[in-house]
Structures are given as structure tokens and as C-alpha cells.
Structure 1
Amino acid sequence: MKSTFDNWYEKKMRANPEISAETDRAGELLDQIDTIAIVGISRDRHRDSHFVGRYLKKAGYTIIPVNPGADEILGEKAYPELRSIPAEIDVVDIFRPPEVIPEAVEEALEVNPKAIWLQLGTGTHNELKEKVEKNGIHFFQNRCMKVDHQFLIRPKKEQREKTVS
């Protein structure tokens, strides 16, 4: 039997064809990526950005903290900006206030990730969505990577593990 939250997620993320298609794209992407740069991740373990980063790291992703005020977060070297990261980045996950999202997205475009992901609470930026997608980059907004992973990837992984056992 599915939990109430499972039912809520399914109902919300399949509410209309556009959201349902975006949910499918999110699941496909999360199943294919390795490296996530988290812009605005906090050193404070009580902040959502820190909690999401910790979850994604435990889920097996390589996370790269981007915070100019930190040397290390979650045991990983932190970088002051995306341009200073010496590795290829699959997804840029942004935890920044809505008013600085355009600047953060412009910086993300410079590193040419497979996707730019705006976490819940960062606002809706349809003009940026169009610009990002014209560059062949997936754009997600008002979605939480942790929540999407929990409902789209973790059940498939658990099912694969049961099959192998």
C-alpha cells in the first residue's frame, strides 16, 4: 500500500501532461548523471541545501559544493564559483534567492551542464527556461532533486537490488 505522501507526489507530478513529461525527464536525468554542483549549499546542517546535498551524496552522486564562504562542505572541497571547478558538471543545482537566479543561471550556462535545476523556493523563471533550453540544456524549476530522487529513482534501484538478490 502506498503512503499518503507517495500518493500526493504521484497525483501532483502527473497533474497534467506538461508536468508529467517534465517528471519523466527528471527521472531519466537522475538515472544518468554522476556529478552535481550545488550552488548556495550551506555549511549549516539544518538548512535545506545541506540536507539535500547530504542525501544526494549518500545516494551515490558526486557533489561539488559551491559556496564562496566555505573551504569544505560535507567532506568535499568547496569552490567559490562554478568556473573554478576543474571537473565536468552534469547538473547545476541552485539554492539561491529568486532575485539572484538570473545571475546564477548565466554562470551555470558557462559550464555547459546537462541540466540546470532550480530548487523549490527559487521562483519561476520562464524567460530563463526558454534561454537555457535553446542551448540544449534541461531546465527544471520549483522541483526538489531529493524528492524527485526518492520517488523516481530509489524505488527502481531497490527493485533492481531485489532482483539481483
Structure 2
Amino acid sequence: MNRHSNLLETPADISALLAATRRIAVLGIKPESHDDQPAHYVPAALAAAGYEIVPVPVYYRDVTVILGQPVYRRLVDVPGRIDLVDVFRLPSALPGHLDDLLAAKPRAVWLQTGIRDDAFAMTLAEAGILVVQDRCLMVEQQRRGARPAI
């Protein structure tokens, strides 16, 4: 049982989140030159499934477009509402993104497989942001056949 209702772990909670998601900002996305890495092929698969992907790479300063979409350098600079931030960063790098995430106020933050930081997740949850930890968004989307909210 969750200590906090914004920490999503159950299949039903994850299904509900995916059903309400249309626009996904990908923090730590990699460009097409790295198409064999999860930080590229996971968002590419999500785009192919119909989700709007907003690239927010950490490196690759010379790259201005990924998956046909303009790149933003900070989440807070992304115009419009972000339904979900899909995070491809090492757990040790998460605290450096906390202020940007809190300022951007996405509906949810998804920490990819292998990424877990309970204190970081609790800070987001207490700010009213839904959090999923240590799960692959592509796998969960495919498992459910989820499509973006309309």
C-alpha cells in the first residue's frame, strides 16, 4: 500500500494514468544518432503509438530537433501543459532536476526502469504530482494497448 496516493504502483493506477496522458516530455531523451538506446527508442515507440513527444535532452547542445519535434532545454520552458515527464536520468542526477520539475508542474513524472529515489518521488508527490518509479513506460503502454487521451 502506498504511503501517499500520488505514488502510483498498482496496475489500475498506471492504466488510469496512461488513459489520461496525451503529451509526454522526455527528460534525457537522446537523438536519432543513438536510436539503439532506450532514451531514444522508447520515446520513438510512444510517438508511433500516437503520443505527442516533447524532447528535453540533457546533452547534445547542437541538436535542435528530435523525433521531428523542437528541443527544449528545461521543462519549465515547454509551452502548454505537460501530462507526463518520462525521465531517463541516473538516480544520482534526479535532485538536479527537482526544481525544474516542480516549476513545470506536470501532471505526472515517470522514472524509467532502474530509476528509483523514494525521497525524490515523495517530494514530487507532496507537490501534487503523480509518480511512477522503476518501470518502462513503453512496456506498460504496450501491455495495455494504451493510446493517448483525446
Q: TM-score, normalised by structure 1?
A: 0.77
Percent identity between matched residues is 31
Could you list the runs of 5+ residues in structure 1 that have no partner in the other structure?
1-16, 158-165
Deviates more, 1:58-67 or 1:101-110: 101-110
Cα 1:60/1:52, change in 2 over 3 Å: same
The aligned residue for residue 162 of structure 1 is: none
Tell me by how many angstroms 1:21 deviates: 4.9
Letter in 1 for 2:100: E
The aligned residue for residue 11 of structure 1 is: none
Greater fraction of residues in helix: 1
Q: 1:45·1:51 contact (CA, 8 Å) conserved in 2?
A: yes
Q: Which has the higher contact order (CA 8 A, sep 6+)?
A: 2
Q: 1:132·1:138 contact (CA, 8 Å) conserved in 2?
A: yes
The aligned residue for residue 86 of structure 1 is: 79
- 1:104-119 residue pairs with structure 2 within 5 A? 104-119=97-112
C-alpha distance in structure 2 between counterparts of 1:45 and 1:74, whole Å = 10
Instruction: State the Cα RMSD in Å.
Output: 2.0
Q: TM-score, normalised by structure 2?
A: 0.84
Q: Number of aligned residue pairs: give it.
A: 138
Q: 2:94·2:120 contact (CA, 8 Å) conserved in 1?
A: no
The aligned residue for residue 14 of structure 2 is: 26
**Aligned to 2:97, what secondary structure does the other structure show?**
helix
- 1:127-138 residue pairs with structure 2 within 5 A? 127-138=119-130
C-alpha distance in structure 2 between counterparts of 1:149 and 1:21, whole Å = 15
Q: 1:105·1:116 contact (CA, 8 Å) conserved in 2?
A: no
The aligned residue for residue 55 of structure 1 is: 45
Q: 2:105·2:129 contact (CA, 8 Å) conserved in 1?
A: yes
The aligned residue for residue 117 of structure 2 is: 125
Q: 1:94·1:104 contact (CA, 8 Å) conserved in 2?
A: no
Q: 1:67·1:80 contact (CA, 8 Å) conserved in 2?
A: yes
Cα 1:46/1:74, change in 2 over 3 Å: same
* Runs of 4+ in structure 1 over 3 Å off: 17-21
C-alpha distance in structure 1 between counterparts of 2:70 and 2:94, whole Å = 23
